[in-house]
């Protein structure tokens, strides 16, 4: 049984600093472990989105409904294609012109993966956080749900993330600075049409004002 987190008698989660070897992080993710890492807004809880054990651990630690898909961050478009996002989607040229940005897009996915919660779509973004993109380039795409119990405020820094995750054996906390801004803008994409599901730091006009390929 996992010991309660946050008790002073329980050691904090392991930490990882920029410049340290990434191989232990890759091995941790491969066996279903988790990373807590900074994003444009707060700390997030990440697993390999294709790893059933890692995704299950995210749901357990957050107390999140397993039917709710987990958002995913990636270093580049190629990582999204490897997850099952179709490179031919009409909206991708517009998204590519805006990313990296605090803009998350719900896109069709095939085949389904554990992070999609059984659904055929996945919320994805290339984040506006250079250190996070470097981490993703080294370890692969990660789930990026906020680091907190469902319904509680997001955790803003590495120290509090380590305390929250104390007692979890298969977790590493990535040291860094979260942006402290609001959650990313969330949009749904149906073909070339876009609608806002959650307002955020990126205005919809940044996406809709991008000309389609071939318009120039």
Do the beta carbons of residue 13 and residue 168 sit within 8 Å? yes
Q: What is the pLDDT of residues 66-79, one digit of tens each?
A: 999 999 999 999 99
Assess whether pLDDT exceeds 90 at residue 49.
yes
What is the pLDDT at residue 153? Answer: 94
**Secondary structure letter of residue 216 according to DSSP:** -
What is the pLDDT at residue 170? Answer: 95
- Sorted by sequence, the CB contacts under 8 Å of residue 71 that are 6+ apart come out as 104, 122, 123, 124, 125, 143, 144, 145
Assess whether pLDDT exceeds 50 at residue 47.
yes
CB atoms within 10 A of CB 53: 15
Q: Which burial class, exposed, middle or buried, applies to 154 when counting CB atoms under 10 A from its CB (0-12, 13-18, 19+)?
A: middle
Mean pLDDT computed over every residue of the chain: 91
Sketch out the chain's domains with CATH numbers. 14-208 (3.90.870.10)
What is the pLDDT at residue 212? Answer: 59
Q: What is the pLDDT of residues 100-137, one digit of tens each?
A: 999 999 999 999 999 999 999 999 999 999 999 999 99
What is the pLDDT at residue 25? Answer: 97
Helix pair 23-30, 130-139: axis angle to 10 deg:
70
The phi, psi pair for 29, rounded to 5°, reads -65, -40
Q: What is the pLDDT of residues 160-187, one digit of tens each?
A: 999 999 999 999 999 999 999 899 999 9
Q: Model confidence at 60, in pLDDT bands (50, 70, 90)?
A: very high
What is the pLDDT at residue 3? Answer: 41
Q: How does 168-184 read in b/e, with b if 16+ C-beta sit within 10 Å?
A: bebbbbbbbebbeeebb
Assess whether pLDDT exceeds 50 at residue 58.
yes
* Closest C-alpha among 145, 127, 186 to residue 58: 145
Looking up tokens 């803009």 gives 103
Q: Model confidence at 6, in pLDDT bands (50, 70, 90)?
A: very low
Q: Which burial class, exposed, middle or buried, applies to 88 when counting CB atoms under 10 A from its CB (0-12, 13-18, 19+)?
A: exposed
Assess whether pLDDT exceeds 50 at residue 214.
no
- Percent of the chain at pLDDT > 90 equals 84
Quote the pTM value.
0.91
Looking up tokens 């120290």 gives 159
């Amino acid at each position: 049984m996992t010991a309660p987190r946050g008790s002073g008698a329980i050691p904090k989660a392991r930490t990882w600093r920029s410049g340290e070897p990434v191989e232990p992080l890759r091995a941790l993710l491969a066996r279903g472990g988790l990373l807590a890492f900074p994003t444009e807004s707060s700390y997030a809880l990440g697993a390999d989105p294709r790893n059933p054990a890692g995704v299950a651990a995210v749901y357990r630690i957050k107390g999140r409904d397993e039917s709710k898909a987990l958002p995913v961050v990636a270093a580049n478009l190629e990582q999204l294609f490897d997850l099952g996002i179709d490179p031919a989607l009409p909206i991708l040229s517009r998204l590519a012109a805006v990313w990296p940005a605090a803009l998350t897009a719900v896109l069709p996915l095939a085949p389904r993966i554990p992070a999609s919660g059984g659904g055929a779509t996945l919320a994805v973004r290339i984040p506006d956080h250079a250190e996070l993109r470097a981490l993703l380039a080294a370890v692969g795409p990660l789930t990026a749900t906020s680091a907190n119990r469902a319904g509680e405020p997001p955790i803003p820094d590495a120290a509090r993330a380590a305390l929250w995750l104390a007692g979890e054996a298969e977790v590493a906390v990535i040291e860094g600075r979260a942006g402290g801004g609001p959650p990313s803008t969330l949009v749904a994409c149906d073909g070339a049409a876009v609608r806002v599901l959650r307002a955020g730091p990126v205005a919809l006009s940044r996406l809709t004002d991008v000309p389609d390929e071939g318009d120039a």
